[in-house]
A and B are shown apart, each in its own frame.
Chain A
Amino acid sequence: MASPLQQFEIHPIVPIHIGGIDLSITNSALWMGISVATASVFLAFGARRRALVPGRWQVMAEMSYEFIANMLRDNVGDAGRRFFPYIFTLFMFILFGNLLGLVPGAFTYTSHIAVTLALAMTVFVAVTIVGIVKHGLHFFTFFVPSGVPALMMPLMIPIEIISYLSRPVSLSIRLFANMMAGHTMMKVFAGFVVPLGAATFGIGGLAPIAMDVALTGFELLVAFLQAYVFTVLTCLYLNDALHLH
């Protein structure tokens, strides 16, 4: 039986080596491309007619737009409007990565720490730069909690800094671990189907299949939820940087 982790292996499809660095087009890269293409077709073609009375497709594109626009407005306010295209791109990229990863045989690029950490670091660096550009050195008062006695400061300031710096870590590990755990669990149960079925004339195989059906529904929820959580936290971090405390 194949290891449940085999599905996370990255294989080169078109080997490309530039200056000794392996930049091959892999199954991960392929599914990133498929996600981008699918999401672009969904959104750009969905809104291509700009109909006054939208069809089903256009409604979905508009709902995606308004979902993120409202999230940004609620969590950041009007100051966040400038960042809308990036937040939207981030959400859609993660959402489609998660959802398409549930297609049997597909590769889930969001189940790789390299990808999620890169996404989280982009957010972390961008948010920190936004904060420093907006507030200058005043930005660092963010690490000084208000209403704390001066005696506690040597303890509180390092804690604040560590909690700030652990943001990209928690952000990336949450997404990666959720995606990986879900897919591993589905594979583990799928692995039970044939051995159990063989031992009980096929009847025993039904239980893991039922479990996998339930897990598929659950994973659809997780796929959406994790994209949402990643984006909402990005909005909150952005809000912190723009408005401090």
Chain B
Amino acid sequence: MMAAQARSILLGGIAAITATMPSLAFASKEGGGTMPQFDASTFPSQLFWLTVSLVVFFIIMRNNALPKIEEALETRRRKIDDDLDRASAHREEAEAAMAAYENALAEAAEQAKAIHREVAQEIAESATVRRTALAAKLAEDTKAAEARITAAKAPALANLQDVVIEVVQEAAAKLAGLKVSSTDAKAAVAASQKEKA
């Protein structure tokens, strides 16, 4: 119902337009003749060839031109996407290489520090050992020397006693003309030593 009404309105509208426009055109123009657009005798030919050319054009477009253009666009889009993917893969690779390099560098620095520490420790250790050894040797030498001194001191002291007694005997003889026996002299020396001490 609605469609029928619609069609009648549409046809009425078209009819009104087609009916009035030629007369307007005719009225505005001297020299006669209507607008060629409203010459209904040309309509079948126009519509027929319009249909033919539009259908042919549509088929050429749909089956030939559009797929080609689409393919070109699609190929390009895919190529660009691939290139972008590859570029980002390369970048990741480069970043990984950079990280590995930095790692290696840090490791090497660490290693160098460790070696340095080790060597320094070794050197310090060996120095300590040598110093200790030297100190021990020196102490030993000192002790040996002291022993030797002690060993030499007693005979020297004994010797000195004899010399003193002899000096006392000689002095007594020279000064007082006394002949002092060695036993007396020895006792006198010992007594004077005790006094002094």
A interface residues with partner B (beta carbon < 8 Å): 3, 5, 8-10, 12, 21-26, 28-29, 32-33, 35-36, 39-40, 43-44, 46-48, 50-52, 54, 58, 61-62, 65-66, 84-86, 88-89, 92-93, 109, 111-115, 117-119, 140, 143, 161-162, 164-166, 168-169, 173, 176, 180
- Residue of A28, A48, A93, A165 contacting most chain B CB atoms (<10 Å): A165
Q: Which of A12, A22, A65, A169 contacts B70 (CB 8 A)?
A: A65
Q: Which of A28, A47, A84 contacts B42 (CB 8 A)?
A: A28
B175 at interface, CB cutoff 8 A: no
Contacts known (A44-B65, A165-B9); A26 close to B42, Cβ less than 8 A: yes
A-B contact pairs, 10 of them (CB 8 A): A22-B45, A28-B49, A32-B53, A40-B61, A47-B72, A50-B71, A62-B72, A92-B61, A165-B10, A169-B14
- Residue of A50, A54, A180 contacting most chain B CB atoms (<10 Å): A50
A interface footprint on B39-75 (CB within 8 Å = 1, 0 otherwise)? 1011111111111011011101110111011111101
Q: Are A162 and B61 in contact (CB under 8 A)?
A: no
Smallest beta-carbon distance B59→chain A, Å: 9
Contacts known (A29-B49, A52-B76); A113 close to B65, Cβ less than 8 A: no
Q: Which of A3, A28, A40, A52 contacts B65 (CB 8 A)?
A: A40
Q: Which of A39, A119, A164 contacts B57 (CB 8 A)?
A: A39
Assembled-state Cα–Cα distance A176/B37 (Å): 9
Chain A neighbourhood of B14, CB < 8 A: 117, 169
Assembled-state Cα–Cα distance A26/B62 (Å): 27
Q: Are A66 and B45 in contact (CB under 8 A)?
A: no
Q: Are B6 and A161 in contact (CB under 8 A)?
A: yes
Q: Are A52 and B2 in contact (CB under 8 A)?
A: no
Chain B neighbourhood of A161, CB < 8 A: 2, 5-6, 9
Query: Which residue in chain A gives the minimum CB-CB distance to B57?
Result: A36
Q: Which of B2, B36, B41, B68 contacts A44 (CB 8 A)?
A: B68
Contacts known (A32-B53, A114-B46); A10 close to B39, Cβ less than 8 A: yes
B158 at interface, CB cutoff 8 A: no
A interface footprint on B144-171 (CB within 8 Å = 1, 0 otherwise)? 0000000000000000000000000000
- Contacting residues of chain B (16-40) with chain A, CB-CB under 8 angstroms: 17-18, 25, 29, 31, 33, 35-39
Query: Which residue in chain B gives the minimum CB-CB distance to A40?
Result: B60
What is the predominant secondary structure among interface residues of chain B facing chain A? helix
Q: How many residues of B are in contact with the other chain, CB < 8 A?
A: 49
Chain A neighbourhood of B65, CB < 8 A: 40, 43-44, 47, 61
Query: Which residue in chain B gives the minimum CB-CB distance to A68?
Result: B66
Q: Which of A85, A115, A166 contacts B58 (CB 8 A)?
A: A85
Chain A neighbourhood of B48, CB < 8 A: 23
Known: A32-B49, A115-B47, A180-B37. 16 other contacts (CB 8 A): A3-B31, A28-B42, A29-B46, A43-B65, A44-B60, A62-B72, A85-B58, A86-B58, A89-B62, A109-B46, A114-B42, A114-B46, A115-B46, A161-B2, A164-B6, A169-B10
Q: Are A89 and B37 in contact (CB under 8 A)?
A: no
Assembled-state Cα–Cα distance A44/B56 (Å): 13
Q: Which of A5, A47, A50, A58 contacts B36 (CB 8 A)?
A: A5
Q: Are B49 and A65 in contact (CB under 8 A)?
A: no
Chain A neighbourhood of B62, CB < 8 A: 85, 89
Q: Are A5 and B53 in contact (CB under 8 A)?
A: no
Assembled-state Cα–Cα distance A128/B51 (Å): 20
Smallest beta-carbon distance A28→chain B, Å: 6
Chain B neighbourhood of A176, CB < 8 A: 37
Query: Which residue in chain B gives the minimum CB-CB distance to A24?
Result: B45
Q: Are A22 and B44 in contact (CB under 8 A)?
A: yes
Contacts known (A10-B45, A113-B38); A89 close to B70, Cβ less than 8 A: no
Q: Which of A3, A25, A32, A51 contacts B33 (CB 8 A)?
A: A3
Q: Are A61 and B69 in contact (CB under 8 A)?
A: yes
Query: Which residue in chain B gives the minimum CB-CB distance to A33?
Result: B53
Smallest beta-carbon distance A98→chain B, Å: 15
Q: Are A28 and B45 in contact (CB under 8 A)?
A: yes
